[in-house]
Amino acid sequence: MMDTSAFIQALMAQPGYRSQIAHIEHIPRRKARYAELDEPLEERLQRYLEKRRLLPLYTHQAEAINYARRGMNVMVATSSASGKTLCYNIPVMEAVLTEPHSCALYLFPTKALAQDQLRTLQDYPHLSHEASTFDGDTPQPERAGIRKSARVLLTNPDMLHLGILPNHQSWSRLLRQLRYVVVDEAHTYRGVFGSHVACVLRRLRRLCNFYGSSPCFICSSATIANPGEHAERLVGLPFRVVDNDGSPYGGKDFVFWDPPFIDEVKGVRRSANSEAANLFAELVESDIRTLTFARTRRLTELIYNYTRHRLAEIGSSRVKRIKPYRAGYLPEERRQIEKELFGGKLTGVVATTALELGIDIGDLEATVLTGYPGSIASTWQQAGRSGRSGDRSLSFLIGHDDPLDQYFMRHPEAFFAKSVENALVNPDNPYILRAHLLCSAWELPLTSEDVEVFGATYEGERVGLEAEGLLRERRGKWYLSPAIAYPAQNINIRSTSGENFGIVDTSTGSLLETVEASVAFFQIHPGAIYLHQGESYLVEELDLAGRTAYVAPTSANYYTQTKELNDLRILRVLRDKKCGQTNVYLGEVEVTTTVVGFKKKAQFTEEVIGEEPLDLPPQRFPTVALWFDLPPKVVARIDKEQLDFAGGLHAVEHAAIAILPLFALCDRNDIGGVSTPLHPDTGKAQIFIYDAYPGGIGISERGFDLVEELWQTTLEAIEECPCQEGCPSCIQSPKCGNNNKPLDKKAAQVLLEGLLSKK
């Protein structure tokens, strides 16, 4: 068992330690609480669970199973490693044993999670031939047999949307006998992805009704603030919530690690990525099994390279015992890394959120989180990947130099005392719902009764599709236009664009991987450095018509980061309210985003070593925004004190965007902003914050509801930052297309004080 205190003391004794530890939260052990089921288990299942030492059941497990046995939809929202899997496996196993033809459908957000659960189910002798995975990695020769005989089907929402529902005649046996639908890791289904999944689940319910089944839904989730509401928005049915966690916990030392200043006056800190690599290297060198999380694919590769370099520097023999892991790798590469980590061949892995979820990768002792993951729920989920064996574990959260990370470094109580956030989905988003209504019409003609499945906005959207000629009415039913073939293949449920760009290595002519069209201009623009499996590639050409980026291997010692400009038009005000001395609005807007250039940043030091312009077409999309007026007295005060009004607006916009994820379960990249001393649509100074997705996903509504809390926390983040003129930790944004000019820290404080003033 690892001595967490001894390791922390050893870190503090190192020559390079510069008081990076901002806070240590000592999370105590917790004893288990048990409960009995209302009715005894089937005898063979009872013997199996006893043999595997999975009994007695924890309180939340017994409660969830009791509800599921009664046919109630259940949402289990408990901590990581609390045994949520048994909450759905026991009812499913029992149904398979006692109901001759009953079937179950398991949905996981990742293929890795489905593979992991398949191993668990196949371990049970009566299910060893009944359970199968069906996803993009399933060999073609095996697919017909799975359709014909599988009773427990493990898949992901992508395959359900693209392969199963459009071909439901081939799956009629499963759909007719469907007893349970399991939606695992339900908190991951939020934002655009969650809104798509909500529509996919409504399509599933519609087909189940057609085939005469009415399955019980069992959802499991990390702790979120609105588990019942989220499950009901996701599935469209009422749910019972189980959140009274009875599982034991070995305790954890959770360290908030703040990179030290290089220049405190200018607010320049040491890179969070290099701090993560140093910590990861120390843990691996101490033979502590560790998982290090990075926010993006690029940073995963970057931290892996940094760590490899650091271990080689100290002459470590463990260089070959670490690997990167992320989406985009070939299936066999991912399976191999999972196998090596599970089997102990690897001491550590650097990963994106692809390994955040509940896949069993053995007894990890430590986790390193490179930057706040964007939500308290995700932070606990990532930290919870270590300590699953019941022993005490160690987690590090490394603060990035952005306002929210630094706010937590200075206010750890705001993290540890705050309840987790609301998960947001919007199945009524017209751009998402319309796409899935076309898919539904392909599956079965639409009828007026489908309003019960799709909700109040259904009829309006159906009428709109009919007016566009995409649907045709005949005898009270609406059929897909013959001009549309297989609409599901044009929808990528993990993005709003539904399209991908391929990345081709010109040195071999091979396809490296694909990226979503919505992020292509930010990741694979001409001159970008793209990282794959630790290797750097220079983007030589971006073929927009052919949706292909051509890249070549490079030894460049820098990486790239885009700069963008945003413009906004108001289309319609939806709501408004008075807050203090000013007015706040929520409405529909059209945003134009243009990627105007990129920075070259040195590896290890993150120093900007060059900037280049880009000439890419603008991207326009309609969305939802909140905006607010500035009190006239505050504007007069800024003028009197000779502060930069435009710089103050710009600074408040940057800081408020960075802080908003504290109040909504979203990522910084899910939000955009515009500020101007004179907006043409209002004739006034304005600050806008908008959802960075077509149609909006609910973030701006959340910000509108909590705008005064947002102003207050943003003011604290700016006031408490020790820099003099403004820095990345308070008012600067790395994505700003105006090179963070103008910015005025003092003017931002005056504006926020005025917004909060009641007088």
Measured over the CA atoms of residue 381, residue 385, residue 390 and residue 396, the dihedral's sign is negative
- What distances in angstroms separate CA 322 from CA 53, 318, 361, 537, 573, one per listed residue? 33, 7, 14, 22, 52
**354 — pLDDT class (breaks 50, 70, 90):** low
Check residue 180 and give its pLDDT: 98
DSSP-derived pairing of the beta strands 252-257 and 21-27: antiparallel
Residues 408, 434 within the same domain: no
Closest residue by Cα to residue 661 from 705, 633, 703, 692 = 703
What is the rounded average pLDDT for all residues in the chain? 91
Question: By percentage, how much of the chain surpasses pLDDT 70?
Answer: 97
Residue type, 704: F
Check residue 390 and give its pLDDT: 74
Residues 412, 505 within the same domain: no
422 contacts: CB under 8 Å, gap ≥ 6: 224, 225, 226, 229, 230, 664, 665, 702
Closest residue by Cα to residue 737 from 648, 675, 684 = 675
On whether residue 155 sits in a domain, the answer given is: yes
Give the CATH number, domain containing residue 149: 3.40.50.300
On whether residue 600 sits in a domain, the answer given is: no
Residues 159, 96 within the same domain: yes
Answer with the one of 216, 242, 268 that is the final residue of a domain.
242
Structure tokens at 397: 């959260």
pLDDT at 459 over 80: yes
Residues 59, 199 within the same domain: yes
pLDDT at 174 over 90: yes
**Which segments within 169-305 are labelled E, that is strand?**
178-183, 216-221, 240-242, 252-257, 261-263, 268-269, 290-293
431 contacts: CB under 8 Å, gap ≥ 6: 496, 694, 695
pLDDT at 623 over 90: yes
Residues 146, 235 within the same domain: yes
Residues 63, 156 within the same domain: yes
DSSP-derived pairing of the beta strands 366-370 and 322-325: unpaired
Residue type, 136: G
237-286 pLDDT, tens digit per residue, is 999 999 999 999 999 999 999 999 998 888 889 999 999 999 999 999 99
Any idea what DSSP says for residue 315?
Answer: T
Whole-angstrom distance, CA of residue 723 vs CA of residue 731? 10
Dihedral class, residue 191 (left if φ above 0, else alpha if ψ from -120 to 50, else beta): left
Beta bridge partners of 562: 598
Check residue 333 and give its pLDDT: 83
On whether residue 460 sits in a domain, the answer given is: yes
**474 — pLDDT class (breaks 50, 70, 90):** very high
Check residue 362 and give its pLDDT: 61
Any idea what DSSP says for residue 371?
Answer: S
Relative orientation angle of helices 59-69 and 84-98, to the nearest 10 degrees: 40
Check residue 187 and give its pLDDT: 87
750 contacts: CB under 8 Å, gap ≥ 6: 634, 637, 638, 641, 643, 648
3-class SS at 621? strand
On whether residue 424 sits in a domain, the answer given is: no
Check residue 335 and give its pLDDT: 78
Whole-angstrom distance, CA of residue 368 vs CA of residue 391? 17
Whole-angstrom distance, CA of residue 58 vs CA of residue 66? 12
pLDDT at 358 over 60: no
Residues 206, 64 within the same domain: yes
On whether residue 607 sits in a domain, the answer given is: no
Answer with the one of 534, 556, 578 that is the final residue of a domain.
556
232 burial (CB, 10 Å; 0-12 / 13-18 / 19+) is middle
On whether residue 683 sits in a domain, the answer given is: yes
Measured over the CA atoms of residue 273, residue 279, residue 282 and residue 283, the dihedral's sign is negative
Whole-angstrom distance, CA of residue 322 vs CA of residue 681? 54
On whether residue 28 sits in a domain, the answer given is: no
Tokens 């404080």, residue located: 749
390-407 pLDDT, tens digit per residue, is 789 999 999 998 899 999
Tokens 């003011």, residue located: 715
Question: By percentage, how much of the chain surpasses pLDDT 90?
Answer: 71
Give the CATH number, domain containing residue 458: 1.10.10
343 burial (CB, 10 Å; 0-12 / 13-18 / 19+) is exposed
Residues 264, 391 within the same domain: yes
Measured over the CA atoms of residue 440, residue 445, residue 448 and residue 450, the dihedral's sign is negative
Check residue 190 and give its pLDDT: 85
On whether residue 157 sits in a domain, the answer given is: yes
Residues 229, 124 within the same domain: yes
Radius of gyration of the chain (CA): 26
| Segments forming the whole domain that contains residue 455 | 430-490
Residues 587, 516 within the same domain: no
Task: Give the count of domains, the chain.
Answer: 5
Closest residue by Cα to residue 44 from 126, 104, 109 = 126
Residues 504, 387 within the same domain: no
Whole-angstrom distance, CA of residue 584 vs CA of residue 568? 17
Check residue 227 and give its pLDDT: 93
pLDDT at 577 over 80: yes
Answer with the one of 391, 416, 441 that is the final residue of a domain.
416
Residues 254, 238 within the same domain: no
